[in-house]
Amino acid sequence: MKKMHNFNAGPSILPKEVIQQSAKSVLNFNKSGLSLLEISHRSKDFWKILEKSTHLVKLIMKLDDNYSVLFLQGGATLQFSMVPYNLMNQKAAYLNTGIWAKKAIKEAKLFGKVNVLFSGEHKGYNYITNKYVVPEEMDYFHCTSNNTIVGSQMKIFPNTCVPIVCDMSSDIFSRKLNFQNFSLIYASSQKNISSSGMTIVIIKHEILEKYKKNIPSYMDYKIHLKNHGIFNTPNVFSIYTSMLTCEWIIQQGGLEVLEKHNKYKSKLLYEEIDRNTFFENKINKENRSCMNVTFFLKEEKLKKEFDNMWKFENIVGLEGYRIFGGYRASMYNALPLESVHVLINVMKKFEEKFS
C-alpha cells in the first residue's frame, strides 16, 4: 500500500494495528469460521465485545459505576435532539463556539428555551471566552469541547452545579480531563474512535432521574440502558473497532501520553504557521485546537500551487470545511509525527519557492 499522510477530518486516520486486526476479524472472527459482519448482536461473542468496549471506555476516562456507556447510532447529530428530548424540562444553557455547536442549539430550540451564554459567531468563531456564568436554574449546560471545523478548543470548563453536557466528537480520547465533572458526554465514532455510524454516549445515571418523560423509544436513554445497550441492532463492526482503539490507547500509555503527543504535534505545526510568511491561523492563541489545526494562505492566488505541492507528497484531507475555506490539518491520535513533519516541510518549500 502507498504510504499516505492522512489529515482527514472524519472519517479519519485510525491506528494501523486497529485496521489490521479489524480486517482480520472481518475475514475470520476469532477463528470461528464466521466474519465479524456475520455474527449476531445477541451472541455471546458480541456480548463480550460490548462489555469489554464499555469497560475500556470507562477505564480510560476513569469513570466509576455512576456512569454507563451506550454505543448508539444517528451520529452526534442525533444527540443534538436526544439530549434536550431527555434532559430539558424548560430551559438549557448553550455555548455557540462553532458550526456544530450552532447546530446543537438549533435542535434544542425545538424542545424549550435556549439561553446562549456566549457566541463567537460574529467574530468567525475565532475565540472562546471563559467569562460567562451558568445560571443555576438551567436544566443543563451544553458545550462543544473541540470545534472541528474552525479549529478551536475549550481548555477550561465551568465550575457549576448545573449538569454539564459535552459534545466531544473531535477530541475524545485526545487529552486528560476530569470526566467525572460531566453528566453526559457524546462523541461520534469517526474521528478518534472507529469507523463511522456509531456514537459513544456516556451518561451519569442521576441526570436521568430528574424528569419522567414519554418520548419515542429509540430517543430514550433509559430504554437503551434498560436494554443493556442492545435495544435495537447496534453497529457491531464499529463497536468492535472501538474496543481495539481503546486497547491501543492503553498500550500507548493512556490519555496522559496521548495528550503529550497531541500537544507536541500541534505545537510544531502552529509554530510553522506563525513563522511562515505565507500562512496564517485566525484562532485566538489560547483557544487553538490540538486536534484540528486550521490555516489560510495570505495570497489566495497561490492556492493551486500549494495544493499541487502537498498532494505530490501524498498528503490527503487538507482542504478546509466547505463553507469555511482555507486548510485544516486534522491530527487525531493515530496521526504519526512523521506526517506533521512532511506537511511542515511542504510549507517551508512553498515559502522558499515563492518568496
Ligand X SMILES: *Cc1c(COP(=O)(O)O)cnc(C)c1O
CA pair distance 26, 195, nearest whole angstrom: 13
Q: Is 10 in the site for ligand X (CB under 6 A)?
A: yes
CA–CA dist 84, 223 (Å, integer): 16
- How far is the C-alpha of 61 from the C-alpha of 179, rounded, in Å? 6
Residue among 277, 290, 282, 294 nearest 328 (CA): 294
- Catalytic (active site) residue 167: yes
Q: Which residue has the cell 428555551?
A: 113
Residue with grid cell 451520529, as numbered in its chain: 75
Q: How far is the CB of 167 from ligand X (least distance, A)?
A: 5
Element (H, E) at 231: none
Task: Compute the least distance from the CB of residue 184 to ligand X, in Å.
Answer: 14
CB-CB contact of 233 with 41 (8 Å)? yes
107 contacts ligand X (rule: CB under 6 A): no
Residue 192 touches ligand X, criterion: CB under 6 A: no
The dihedral region occupied by 74, where left means phi > 0, alpha psi between -120 and 50, and beta the remainder, is left
Least distance (Å) between residue 292 CB and ligand X: 8
Indicate the residue among 171 and 272 with the shorter CB distance to ligand X. Answer: 171
Give the three cell numbers for residue 192. 478518534
Strands 91-96 and 5-6: unpaired
Q: Is 262 in the site for ligand X (CB under 6 A)?
A: no
Interface with ligand X includes 188 (CB under 6 A)? yes
Q: Which stretch binds ligand X (CB under 6 A): 51-59, 70-78, 240-248, 311-319?
A: 70-78
| Total residues in contact with ligand X, by rule CB under 6 A | 11
- Considering only 63, 76, 249, 297, the residue that binds ligand X (CB under 6 A) is 76
Annotated active-site residue 310? The verdict is no
- The one catalytic residue in 58, 100, 139, 204 is 100
Whole-number Å distance between alpha carbons of 277 and 267: 17
Cβ atoms within 10 Å, residue 303: 14
Catalytic residue among 58, 139, 171, 191: 191
Region of 164-172, 173-181, 225-233, 267-275 interacting with ligand X (CB under 6 A): 164-172
Instruction: Please select the residue that binds ligand X; options are 8, 68, 97, 169, rule is CB under 6 A.
Output: 169
CB of 147 to ligand X, least distance (A): 7
Q: Does 245 bind ligand X (CB under 6 A)?
A: no
Of 25-33, 74-82, 125-133, 225-233, the segment contacting ligand X by CB under 6 A is 74-82
Contact between 247 and ligand X (CB under 6 A)?
no
By CB under 6 A, name the one of 139, 167, 220, 272 that touches ligand X.
167
Q: Pick out residues in 39-68 that bind ligand X (CB under 6 A).
A: none
User: Minimum CB separation from ligand X for residue 197, in Å?
Assistant: 8
Please, what is the angle between helix 236-252 and helix 44-61, to 10°? 40
Per CB under 6 A, the segment of 49-57, 75-83, 158-166, 203-211 that binds ligand X is 75-83
Which strand (E) or helix (H) includes residue 172?
none
Active site residue 100: yes
Whether residue 289 contacts residue 149, with contact meaning beta carbons closer than 8 Å, is answered with no
Q: Give the CA diameter of the chain.
A: 65
To the nearest 10 degrees (0 to 180), the angle between helices 254-275 and 44-61 is 60
CA atoms of 42 and 39, how far apart (whole Å): 8
Is 144 a binding residue for ligand X by CB under 6 A? The answer is: yes
The least distance separating ligand X from the CB of residue 10, rounded to whole angstroms, comes to 5
Q: How much of the chain is in helix, strand and coil states, percent to nearest 5?
A: 45, 15, 40
Binding residue for ligand X, selected from 5, 49, 54, 75, defined by CB under 6 A? 75
**Is the CB of 25 or the CB of 144 nearer to ligand X?**
144
Residue 97 engages ligand X in binding (rule: CB under 6 A): no
Per-residue cell: 271: 509554530
Site of grid cell 424548560: 90
Residue positions annotated with a catalytic role? 100, 167, 191
Q: Which residues bind ligand X (CB under 6 A)?
A: 10, 75-77, 100, 144, 148, 167, 169-170, 188
